[in-house]
């Protein structure tokens, strides 16, 4: 179990992949799918978190969509924190009451732990790469079909499990 250093000399113990229950895994996956659905909706509306001209789109999303985005990180924290020096273990409500620096540190650590946990499930591809077509010629592997950098989305990369990132492309 990795130990995470938190602000103000606090710490937390994050569950390892062997300790995650199926119930916890499903709850995290559901929260991720809700957040990914909202991210896809924002992308289809033209939202680009790197372009301030599109930030109005984000401001106009529903409270439910905003909760979907916020809920994924909170669910990671609730599902993966097994011990900490902050008192009672977090709930979905109490996780959102954490100081921002503590929430961010836990969210990042849990996202990394979740990535490591999920990456063991994905098998390496045995397919040979296809030759370039006129559609893909001249494009870097790090660009999508529109020539934008990959990983260009709403969710922070550290919080999205790697195998789920691959599936969403």
Going residue by residue through the chain (169 aa), what tens digit of pLDDT does each one get?
789 999 989 999 999 878 889 999 999 999 999 999 999 999 999 998 888 898 899 888 899 998 888 889 999 999 999 999 999 999 999 999 999 999 999 988 887 766 544 443 433 333 333 444 444 444 444 444 555 444 444 444 444 444 444 444 4
Domain with 46 in it: 3-121+147-167
Distance CA 162, CA 169 (A): 11
Dump strand ranges (E) for the chain: 3-6, 10-14, 81-84
Token pair of 131 as six digits: 């030759």
In a domain, 126, yes or no: no
Number of folded domains that form the chain: 1
Q: Does residue 128 fall inside a structural domain?
A: no
Q: Which two tokens stand for residue 141?
A: 């592997």
pLDDT at residue 59 in the model: 85
> Residue 33 falls within a domain, yes or no?
yes
Instruction: Determine, yes or no, domain membership for 159.
Output: yes
- Give residue 16's pLDDT: 81
Residue 57 lies in a domain: yes
Is residue 138 included in any domain, yes or no? Answer: no
Report the length, in residues, of the chain: 169
Residue 146: the pLDDT is 52
| pLDDT at 157 (0 to 100) | 45
Q: What global pTM score does this model have? A: 0.62
pLDDT at 49: 83
State the pLDDT at residue 84: 94
In a domain, 134, yes or no: no
CA nearest to 132, candidates 144, 141, 142, 143: 141
- Residue 88 CB burial class (10 angstroms; 0-12, 13-18, ≥19): exposed
pLDDT of the residue at 159 = 45
- Is position 162 within any domain? yes
């Amino acid at each position: 179990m990795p130990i995470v250093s938190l602000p103000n000399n606090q710490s937390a113990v994050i569950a390892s992949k062997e300790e995650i229950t199926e119930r916890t895994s499903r709850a995290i996956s559901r929260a991720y799918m809700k957040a990914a659905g909202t991210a896809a909706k924002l992308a289809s509306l033209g939202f680009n978190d790197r372009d301030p001209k599109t930030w109005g789109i984000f401001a106009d999303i529903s409270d439910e969509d905003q909760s979907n985005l916020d809920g994924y990180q909170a669910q990671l924290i609730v599902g993966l924190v097994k011990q900490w020096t902050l008192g009672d273990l977090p709930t979905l409500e109490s996780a959102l009451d954490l100081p921002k620096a503590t929430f961010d540190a836990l969210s990042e650590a849990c996202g990394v732990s979740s990535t490591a946990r999920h990456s063991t499930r994905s098998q390496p591809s045995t397919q040979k790469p296809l030759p370039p077509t006129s559609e893909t010629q001249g494009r870097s592997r790090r660009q999508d079909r529109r020539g934008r950098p990959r990983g260009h989305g709403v969710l922070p990369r550290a919080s999205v499990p790697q195998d789920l990132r691959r599936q969403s492309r």
